[in-house]
């Protein structure tokens, strides 16, 4: 069990369906134009829970069928005091060339109503323990240059700045991401 005093990280399962879909709904209502749910295996794209759960399980089991071409573990962070889902976090077990340039090993989100309570920091720390158990010696994380909350979360978990990376956008523009390593 990956847990601390306050949170437990669980693999998605059918018995969490109602709570997971309610979590998804909160993101949909929060920002209708940009409702990406980081670290969730693209939960925002799935109206069907069962189809999403299949996708999560495929990505965790088969690197060839996985979105990122590496085994991908998705976790739901549940607050122990009331069993509320507070966030999602995903580990991409190996760094492909594509992930080295954009995305890194780990993605995460905290539901809008539970932000700024330290949960992202706790959730990332818990996944880093899982990374150590897997035998990883370092993980790459990145964030958009404007994402101060995510950058602070990484730094609080020991991240060390590596470089800036320019990502071409579909509209012809460029977005700069800050890349960090966490040594385990």
Ligand X SMILES: CC(C)(COP(=O)(O)OP(=O)(O)OC[C@H]1O[C@@H](n2cnc3c(N)ncnc32)[C@H](O)[C@@H]1OP(=O)(O)O)[C@@H](O)C(=O)NCCC(=O)NCCS
Site residues (vs ligand X, CB under 6 A): 38, 107-110, 115-121, 143, 147-150, 152-153, 156
Of 7 and 56, which CB lies nearer to ligand X in the complex structure?
Answer: 7
Q: The tokens of 183 are what?
A: 């040594």
Helices 119-134 and 148-156: crossing angle, nearest 10°?
Answer: 50
* Minimum distance of ligand X from residue 152's CB (angstroms): 3
Residue 23 makes CB contacts below 8 A (sequence gap 6+) with 43, 76, 85, 88, 111
Of 54 and 175, which CB lies nearer to ligand X in the complex structure?
Answer: 175
* Minimum distance of ligand X from residue 147's CB (angstroms): 5
Of 57 and 155, which CB lies nearer to ligand X in the complex structure?
Answer: 155
* Minimum distance of ligand X from residue 55's CB (angstroms): 20
Q: Is 144 helix (H, G, I), strand (E, B) or coil?
A: strand
* Minimum distance of ligand X from residue 151's CB (angstroms): 8
Of 134 and 148, which CB lies nearer to ligand X in the complex structure?
Answer: 148
Distance of CA 94 to the CA centre of its chain: 15
Contact (CB, 8 A) for 118 and 153: no
């Amino acid at each position: 069990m990956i847990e601390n005093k306050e949170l437990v990280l669980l693999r998605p399962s059918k018995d969490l369906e109602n709570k997971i879909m309610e979590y998804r709904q909160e993101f949909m209502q929060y920002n209708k134009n940009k409702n990406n749910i980081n670290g969730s295996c693209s939960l925002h794209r799935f109206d069907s829970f069962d189809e999403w759960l299949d996708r999560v399980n495929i990505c965790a089991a088969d690197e060839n069928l996985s979105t990122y071409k590496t085994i991908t573990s998705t976790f739901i962070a549940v607050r122990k005091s009331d069993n509320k889902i507070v966030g999602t976090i995903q580990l991409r077990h190996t760094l492909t060339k594509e992930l080295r340039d954009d995305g890194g090993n780990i993605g995460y989100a905290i539901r809008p109503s539970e932000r700024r309570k330290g949960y992202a920091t706790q959730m990332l720390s818990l996944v880093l323990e899982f990374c150590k158990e897997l035998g990883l010696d370092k993980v790459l994380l990145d964030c958009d240059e404007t994402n101060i909350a995510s950058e602070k979360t990484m730094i609080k978990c020991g991240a060390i700045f590596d470089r800036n990376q320019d990502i071409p956008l579909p509209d012809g523009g460029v977005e700069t991401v800050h890349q960090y390593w966490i040594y385990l």
